[in-house]
Amino acid sequence: MSDLNKYINKRKKKDPKFAENFETGFNDFKIGLYLRELRIKKGFTQEDLAVRLKTKKSVISRMENHAEDIRLSTLEKVAKVLGKKLHISIR
């Protein structure tokens, strides 16, 4: 286990608020990172994706860096442009 993981686990045990916020923030981060990876694999710049979605480059940047407020309808449009389908599950 890395030092970072040790620190995170220790901090989660000490601070329940940190643990809750960490999980939420990390999931948002993963969504943004995943969108970025898909865009890059497809060979699109942020500008390319923005044009295809009829939006601005800044919107794409915000989705990739601050994914906490993306609408499901927007995720569905992004997925379609990137040749993917959106699947949602509740566990």
- Where along the chain do its domains lie? 1-82
Greatest alpha-carbon pair distance for the chain in Å reads 46
**pTM score:** 0.70
Q: How far apart are CA 64 and CA 44, in angstroms?
A: 13
CATH of domain 1-82: 1.10.260.40
Q: How far apart are CA 43 and CA 41, in angstroms?
A: 5
The model's pLDDT over 30-87, given as tens digits with 9 standing for 90+, comes to 888 889 999 999 999 999 999 999 999 999 999 998 877 789 999 999 999 999 999 9
